[in-house]
């Protein structure tokens, strides 16, 4: 990215692992100052009880060429988010990029369970983690972002608007969470337009997150072994892929052309020309519709 974001300030809310970590790292590779937030630190773990920490993410940002600043934040707590934004304003005086990647609900969904049988407690917790956190963060962060024209808000979700509109996402709560974020990006675009700022929704494809790799009992080095259990995993992508999508959006002087739209990493790779770490360009959502949903044998030929 040739340091195209040098001098820009980004907040990646939910950067402990997965897409958030990949996005923070690639923004760093483009030269940005990146505030990385999450609940898990070296001293304290969230309910996930995972080993990844925000400090580790900040180190990756630094190693990539940026400046990573870890801040422990529970984005359901308005006071903590308000304090975070006040700190960014005090230290940097600006905010150019906001990535709302807060999620934290992988273990709450009960797949293929109707709403009357699904745990109400878990379902409502999922909605709070997936929707309330994004709204709270935008409420406090956007007054700083709109101080300068050209600001970008990226709402991270799962699935494109086209796909989610036609396909049930295996749980009412999960379906609502992921489609709501897409509509949220559209609504934010309307509110930001008078300030010459842009909001988009962005989805990765099948993400090789730390949790997903653990689920299949593989590492990034031997991820293809997982195709023995799940052949369609052949279309999967690293978190760096969506990270490069965000970095390209942030560095695009004409990013407003995407305002309010639902985008995917594979779609943007074709437009901006970036690759995943292995030099491929996986187009997961086209693959899912044309191969997996069509009942065809797993074959990523022509899709990466």
d(CA 303, CA 288): 10
Average pLDDT, the chain: 97
- pLDDT tens-digit map of 45-94: 988 889 999 999 999 999 999 999 999 999 999 999 999 999 999 999 99
Tokens coding 6? 């040098």
Span 121-140, average pLDDT = 98
Q: What is the pLDDT of residue 304?
A: 92
Q: How far is CA 234 from the centre of its chain?
A: 21
Per-residue b or e along 3-40, where b marks 16 or more CB atoms closer than 10 Å to that residue's CB: eebeebbbbbbbbbbbbbbbbbbbbbbbbbbbbbbbbb
Statement: residue 1 has pLDDT above 80: no
Statement: residue 106 has pLDDT above 90: no
Span 32-53, average pLDDT = 94
Tokens coding 230? 């799940």
Integer-rounded Cα Rg, in Å, for the chain is 18
Structural domains in the chain plus CATH codes: 9-217+239-285 (3.40.50.720)
Tokens coding 55? 């400090």
Q: Count CB-CB contacts under 10 A for residue 165.
A: 11
Q: What is the pLDDT of residue 47?
A: 84
Span 6-19, average pLDDT = 98
Half-sphere exposure in the Cβ direction for 272 (13 Å, CA): 27
């Amino acid at each position: 990215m040739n340091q195209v974001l040098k001098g820009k300030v980004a907040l990646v809310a939910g950067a402990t692992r997965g897409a958030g970590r990949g996005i923070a790292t690639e923004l760093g590779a483009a030269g940005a100052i990146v505030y990385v937030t999450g609940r898990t630190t070296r001293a304290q773990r969230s309910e996930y009880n995972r080993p990844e920490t925000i400090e580790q993410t900040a180190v990756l940002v630094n190693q990539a060429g940026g400046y990573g600043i870890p801040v422990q934040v529970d984005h359901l707590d308005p006071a903590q988010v308000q304090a975070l934004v006040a700190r960014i304003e005090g230290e940097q005086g600006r905010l150019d990029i906001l990535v709302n990647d807060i999620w934290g609900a992988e273990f709450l969904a009960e797949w293929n369970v109707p709403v009357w049988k699904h745990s109400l407690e878990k379902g409502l917790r999922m909605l709070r983690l997936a929707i309330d956190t994004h709204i709270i963060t935008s409420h406090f962060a956007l007054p700083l972002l709109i101080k300068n024209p050209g600001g970008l808000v990226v709402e991270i979700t799962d699935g494109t608007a086209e796909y989610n509109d036609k396909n049930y996402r295996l749980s009412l709560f999960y379906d609502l969470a992921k489609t709501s974020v897409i509509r949220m990006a559209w609504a934010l675009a309307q509110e930001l337009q008078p300030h010459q700022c842009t909001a988009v929704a962005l989805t990765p494809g099948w993400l090789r997150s730390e949790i997903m790799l653990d689920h299949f009992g593989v590492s990034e080095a031997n991820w293809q072994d997982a195709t023995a259990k799940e052949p369609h995993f052949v279309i999967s992508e690293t978190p760096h892929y969506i990270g490069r999508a965000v970095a390209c959006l942030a560095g695009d002087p004409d990013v407003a052309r995407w305002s309010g739209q639902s985008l995917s990493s594979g779609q943007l790779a074709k437009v901006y020309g970036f690759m995943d770490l292995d030099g491929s360009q996986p187009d997961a959502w086209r693959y899912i519709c044309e191969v997996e949903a069509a009942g065809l044998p797993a074959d990523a030929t022509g899709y990466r």
